[in-house]
Structure 1
């Protein structure tokens, strides 16, 4: 019986594909323009991928001058023909997401699986590929926005109205996005699925760190920041981290929204200290908050008008 891919194991930090083969890819991977190329296999509804957002944001700040992160879709949930791992229907996902949220200290609310469940993760994945066709940077902002929608705002991101809103939020042309979703974006998505199968990707998150010679190091599942940093150092000997400002205003100028865990990771504070500072900034009128039972998403007020 196949395991349901939405049953992400918090301990291993993996959302595993039901049909994945346990094989390691040992062949070379084409090098990138920067010293380290990172190919990141993910999915819009992968809760563990949401869990590593703090680490990835810090990686971009400290090593963005050395690394390029290339986002690939992996196709976590084709449909609902699964019945194991404690999850046999959409409503079973809700308590699981609540559990994962506590484990990663990231706001994840499972209510969407009760009120308006997704039938598949393919539509938002194809939409992301369409977004990439317009602009890579804005596509990443689009992916962030649809994740906020599904994990925090309880929105079914297979629905076009939510994808269109996210496109506009990210500065993309929604009409062009829709046209590409209905035509060439599916081919790009299928190419990602084929590459994932070729490289033996078993689940998400999976990141391949590639050096200039094509050698690579894989980081699989939820890992602390040190593991990402170690992978960069292994691929680029003597890699020096970039200094970045930990001032709250500078961080919110860099990232329009931050969770408490992300702010803690980026500032080096404890979760509790970060929470206190963010609440204090809110009282002073600098921040707005989107509060859920499982955590808070913070937004700089000057960016929310």
Structure 2
């Protein structure tokens, strides 16, 4: 993909990095403070429409289950797509992304329907990023669920999450105060988003996903792009060698009690069940009425019926 560098949405599948046009790596960690009671702080730079970030959801969910007692993850927004004018004179356009997202879906084995870029393309990733900061102002845990919800909207439901109507719907689904979210979205959340962008530049964030692992002494490890689970585990253990891996229940009932929705890849990663068997089980549970299945042209997502 020759125009990859001029279009941050055309991610490098092999490195798993959605790279910003002018990003440069630095070794600076100014502003990266370890302010948690847990041994390791993780600063996670991401973006709501970063396809590679969607690709690491299985690893990230497993990391929280196994090392949640040792790490605290701080979500930061990186601003992947300011608008389309940054590439004035280039050939990149929203429709270029459609086929790429379909390719990414196959590569990461995570459902993504690239047709949103043909049917209702986003003009920027800033609105959903600012909405996430507004959600954080209300409730950090619900904000993470909000991010998941809007990602499912854009990747599976082909919804343009730059539009307020979809952000409002996601907020209501998760029990956030939609009116307060709108107020913060139009005010303070914009400042918080700019602070994320500023820190990202100081840290040398050049693309997404980027994770900085830091201990109380300021020692650091970095993981750039989409990597296998072991890379994230090694980063933690280098900084906290005594960190113990928590055991968790891996039955489908327990996993869906923790996560409202799971893809077959996520279920396989979390349960330890082979990928093919995982999808077979999820389909059987759907037939029994225990789960509902959201089908896209590039894979499915399952929801627990409560």
Residues in 2 aligned to 1:69 and 1:265: alpha-carbon distance in whole angstroms: 20
Residue 151 (structure 2) aligns with: 147
Residue 264 (structure 1) aligns with: 268
Name the count of aligned residue pairs: 301
Residue 15 (structure 1) aligns with: 18
After superposition, give the CA deviation of every residue in 1:198-239 in whole Å (9 maximum; x if it has no partner).
000000000001112111100100000011111110110121
Residues in 1 aligned to 2:78 and 2:30: alpha-carbon distance in whole angstroms: 20
Q: Is 1:282 aligned to residue 286 of structure 2?
A: yes
Residue 53 (structure 1) aligns with: 57
Residue 103 (structure 1) aligns with: 107
Report the more deviating stretch, 55-64 or 208-217.
208-217
Note the aligned Cα RMSD (angstroms): 1.5
* Structure 1 unmatched runs, 5+: none
Residues in 1 aligned to 2:191 and 2:197: alpha-carbon distance in whole angstroms: 10
Is the 2:6–2:92 contact (alpha carbons within 8 Å) kept by the matching residues of 1?
no
- Aligned match for 2:202, one of 192, 198, 223: 198
Runs of 4+ in 1 over 4 A off after TM superposition: none
Residues in 1 aligned to 2:158 and 2:164: alpha-carbon distance in whole angstroms: 15
Is the 2:30–2:202 contact (alpha carbons within 8 Å) kept by the matching residues of 1?
no
Residue 255 (structure 1) aligns with: 259
Shift, 1:255, TM fit: 0.3
TM-score, normalization by structure 1: 0.96
After superposition, give the CA deviation of every residue in 1:101-143 in whole Å (9 maximum; x if it has no partner).
0000000001110110000000000000000000000000000
TM-score, normalization by structure 2: 0.96
Shift, 1:87, TM fit: 6.4
* Structure 2 unmatched runs, 5+: none
Shift, 1:26, TM fit: 5.1
Is the 2:29–2:202 contact (alpha carbons within 8 Å) kept by the matching residues of 1?
no
After superposition, give the CA deviation of every residue in 1:154-204 in whole Å (9 maximum; x if it has no partner).
000011110001001121101100000111100000000000000000000
